[in-house]
Structure 1
Amino acid sequence: MYIGTSDGISSNYVFNDLEDVAVLSLGTSHAVRVIHEKGQLNHTYQNFAYAIHPEAYLIGLPSNNGADVLAWANKLFNSSFAELNAIILNPPETETIFLPFINGERAPIWEDTAMAHLFNLTRVSTRESVLYAIILGMVFNIKQNVDQLAKLADFKAIGLVGGGTSLASLPQLIADVLGYTLYIPTMKNAETLGSIAAVKGKTFQMEYKRVHPNENLGYTRLYDKYKETLDEQYK
């Protein structure tokens, strides 16, 4: 038995005119997936791998926490997506680390009782620096899942779909942190074509916005601190 389609399959088939592309779906939650000829499994990562075709598997990792983290921050700080967008464009200095597990978490830690945490708050911390740390925490969590997926299957770029793409400055931040070029469909609701492509075996030539990563922006140090903090909390 093979699954005809699902939201994950449809999202990946949006990009079936491209080669070596994994797909990041960023909505309320997030997931990273890639189509692979073998059912790769890693018990540490607890990734999924299910048959979608006699010679293809969808491999990936799901998270409970995506852009819902940003909506939660807006409620907590009485901020807005416009303000978050401005903060990403003009980022403040921050040493604050945010673990974004407001909904518990599946990948990468698989802990349903996990909670969000803020670390390294000082008297010089500002509202903007804390909001920026929350944004980075969400993106760093995505990076962990992308890095784990890269150990299971090769890919050279990432397709990005979902409501998270509506925040204008966020795709560039994601590209910078992940270190991959992003392909974003210019067509709204491109997953509809992905469903047709999956079920009918068709290939559509899509139009994409390409977002290339900038290098040497200092995220490595903060990401390493994020991982150290995460390991201390969830060993």
Structure 2
Amino acid sequence: MPRHVALIMDGNGRWAQRRGLPRREGHRQGVKAAERLVRFVAGERLVPCLSLFAFSTENWNRPQEEVQDLFDLLVRFIRERGDEFVEQGIRLRVLGAVEALPPSLQRAIADVEERSRRGDGLDLAVGINFGGRWSIVEGARRAMALARSDGLKPEDLNESAFARLLPTAELPEPDLIVRTGEEKRISNFYLWEAAYSELYFTSLLWPDFDEEALLAAIQDFQGRCRRFGRVPQ
């Protein structure tokens, strides 16, 4: 079984448009799909770590009204599920440049992260204003800060040392990255961390991605031979 499954939740807008509904309704149904899957993964103890790519650094380029709708839905999701996370032992970690988010969302994140930090069940990482390039640049900034404060030398910085400086340092690298919504790319989600991730693409739009679809992705993963550069046995 994978230790860490990462989900790129794509297709909310197309799901709504194909039904003659506003895009906001697609995002609302997408949140419901995320809630169901988090509950399922936590309840079944399916994997230790689950990542959701909720809002990328590029999503600011969408219409302002849609961006605000997304933030409103994220505030509601985090606030309304906070008690459930604590009760189920789910630890919430939000990855991204949180300081650029609306104050109401920052407060919701800080509250639930603090209350759930002792959770010993599912590790739930949610990318909000997150991007793989941002994460690598953030690691470089931290390395530069250590060079100034602690005298970190270039020869001291290897791959494992740099990985410990990334915002994702406390998470295992994703074994399986699943993208819904017909596109076949990872869209600046995990980059450094995805070096040996298995990729799984499905034409299902995110609101239609359910427990059965997740199990199918994991079953596909289990049939793959992960060599990590070695000769297959």
TMscore range, shorter length: 0.3 to 0.5
Structure-1-length-normalised TM-score: 0.32
Which is richer in helix? 2
Larger relative CO (CA 8 A, sep 6+): 1 or 2?
2
